[in-house]
Structures are given as C-alpha cells and as structure tokens.
Amino acid sequence: MMEITISEKHDNPYLFRTEMQGKIKFTGATPSYNDLRAGLAKQLNVAEQTIAILHVYNKFGATEADFSAHVYQTPEHLAKTEPKVKEIKTKEQKAQEKK
C-alpha cells in the first residue's frame, strides 16, 4: 500500500521535463525506486520509461518519505539528460570478466 502526493510541479521546457517533489505514505518497508516509478506512472498516466526518481528521503522507522523526480516527454529525452545508472553485475558476469 502506497499513497503518493505531489506537492510541487515545475515545467522545464528546455529539458523537456516536469520536475516534481512530493510525499509518499506507505506500510512496511520503504518502496523501491521501481515501485515509486510504477506508482507515479499510474497516477500521472505516463510510461514508466519516462520517469527518473532522483531521491527518496526517509527517516528511520517512519512510514512517510519525501521524494523528487523528473518526468520526461519521451524516453529518449530521459536517456540524453539523466546520468547513467551504474549496472549491477552478477557474480557470473564478474567471474567472466576476470578470465
């Protein structure tokens, strides 16, 4: 269960995106970036591939967190603007690279 509230929205036409901040209320563990991205996509009626989650600020033991995100017009604009996310390598990939 996750409830998303957007408190600020700012259109940035030069970078083809909307910058936003808000709060999420949840039960259990803090939602992952992927869960938050899916929730925002559903709420805003946009594709998940156009959303970049920048930060989730949470205090220990709290069931509420602040977040900041960018929603781009297309996935191509996101790929050009946002920094690349470091890939998580599996043990098998690391072992193959060492050989």
Domain extents for the chain? 2-98
pLDDT of residue 90: 61
3-state secondary structure of 42: helix
- Each residue's pLDDT tens digit, 46-63: 999 999 999 999 988 889
Q: Which residues contact 4 (CB under 8 A, 6 or more apart)?
A: 22, 23, 24, 36, 39, 40, 43
- Each residue's pLDDT tens digit, 15-52: 999 999 999 999 988 888 889 999 999 999 999 999 99
- Each residue's pLDDT tens digit, 66-79: 999 999 999 999 88
The top-level CATH class assigned to 2-98 is: alpha beta
pLDDT of residue 85: 60
